[in-house]
Structure 1
């Protein structure tokens, strides 16, 4: 009887003080689907085991995630675009209020249908294709076939980085097919023999038989967590762990 009373009293104390044994802290981050699918979701179990923090992710886009910080809805987001680009996009003057915590770097690669014989393109050729100056694969050494340009939505960091580094900020051709996620971009390129897109190398590695990678110059960008001010203690632990070699073993 005494043991039962003591046990009841201990449990009651835990509940009333808000202390719950073995209960992980819970945080939600929104933004880049590349960070979501390549970093946070694959490493979710390891993050919780190492830090005691359970990370939930809402994949929207780097731009939409950062907009939530600007709107005061959150203090952190995930991005596959440099902080400077996001600040420029939203015309925000930063006096040190925002911090970019780079977890790793990612490579963007052009992709085509497996039946396409084109294996290498210059930045200029890629630019001309995506802006509509080149409309047939025969003009770049491929088959006589119409080119179908496929790209992520306008809020996508992958699209923004590709457009900046390869296309020199020129607009995509009218009629380019826009998709909401990188996985859909890979799927659509795999369906159109004339299709071309540009996605994170990790998505190609995860779907090795769906598309072919076209050789070109390196197109890279940071995968990061962006915070307004210093991250709180729970997020700080997650960021610190993600930068370790142990965490990187789980990245895709």
Structure 2
């Protein structure tokens, strides 16, 4: 049965793209976008066996750098490219073109053993600046808070910085005692193993070993991201060095198609098209 489903999806991809392709693609960047890209690329390569797609994470900033350097065909980014990045890429003859392939929520997460299940933006900011350091100050157990954050090359970090650390008009920084992780998966693993920890991940990384925390009384979900009531939502982007063609265009077209958007939903993201 599974092989029949894969074959059917492959036929749908070929019908959508119009013809088979041959060649190779390099895709680099955001670890948030990574699971969606991996899922769509697997389906695309099943329909186009002559195409080889190499995918690596490393963070949104690394995706931008690879696009600037000409070492990737598609950059995955969970934030918008910065003006300076766009200018540098353009100066190098690689003017970026943006494609928003899904929406996402950044979800504060704690260990399921933690009794805290709701926080405000102000409380999150106090935690990440080190102002609040014990869970009892937030209605939890009398235990120190282990703060886990993403590193500065991460688009997830950039969104967290803009929406949490810079909330209220000032530009606070994550305090030096925070433990930095290089990926959503690493944050998820660290929090799942430590009942005192708090971190933040993309919606697709929620699992039974993590407890998502509501923000300002709003639960993170597909619905609250779409209606913009959840306060830490964002777009997930692909960037190409100029107008894409060939395999790159076909892959992006597939990801934006109903079949690709269905896979976005399956991964845990919010589709941008019906």
> Residues 82 and 248 (structure 1 numbering): CA distance in 2 closer, same or farther, change over 3 Å?
same
Q: TM-score, normalised by structure 1?
A: 0.82
Summarize deviations over 1:122-163 as a string: whole Å, max 9, x none: 111001101111111111111111011101221011111011
Q: How far off is 1:45 after superposition?
A: 2.6
Residue of structure 1 in register with 2:241 after alignment: 228
Q: Distance in 2 between matches of 1:231 and 1:51?
A: 18
Are residue 42 (structure 1) and residue 39 (structure 2) matched?
A: yes
Checking the alignment, whether the CA contact within 8 Å between 1:24 and 1:48 is kept in structure 2 is no
Checking the alignment, whether the CA contact within 8 Å between 1:51 and 1:238 is kept in structure 2 is no
Q: Distance in 2 between matches of 1:234 and 1:42?
A: 16
Residue of structure 2 in register with 1:153 after alignment: 151
Matches within 5 A, 1:97-246: 97-168=95-166, 169-204=171-206, 208-216=207-215, 217-246=230-259
Q: Distance in 2 between matches of 1:196 and 1:239?
A: 35
Larger radius of gyration: 1
Checking the alignment, whether the CA contact within 8 Å between 1:119 and 1:214 is kept in structure 2 is yes
SS at match of 2:199: strand
Q: How far off is 1:213 after superposition?
A: 0.5
Residue of structure 1 in register with 2:222 after alignment: none
> Residues 93 and 181 (structure 1 numbering): CA distance in 2 closer, same or farther, change over 3 Å?
closer
Q: TM-score, normalised by structure 2?
A: 0.75
Give the aligned CA root-mean-square deviation in angstroms: 2.3
Residue of structure 1 in register with 2:13 after alignment: none
In structure 2, which of residues 63, 83, 92 is the aligned counterpart of residue 87 of structure 1?
Answer: 83
Q: Distance in 1 between matches of 2:178 and 2:86?
A: 24
Q: How far off is 1:250 after superposition?
A: 2.2
Summarize deviations over 1:70-97 as a string: whole Å, max 9, x none: 22334531111112xx335787597992
Which sections of structure 2, spanning at least 5 residues, go unmatched?
Answer: 1-19, 216-229, 268-274
Which sections of structure 1, spanning at least 5 residues, go unmatched?
Answer: 1-21
> Residues 228 and 181 (structure 1 numbering): CA distance in 2 closer, same or farther, change over 3 Å?
same
> Residues 26 and 167 (structure 1 numbering): CA distance in 2 closer, same or farther, change over 3 Å?
same
Q: How far off is 1:228 after superposition?
A: 2.1
Q: How far off is 1:54 after superposition?
A: 3.6
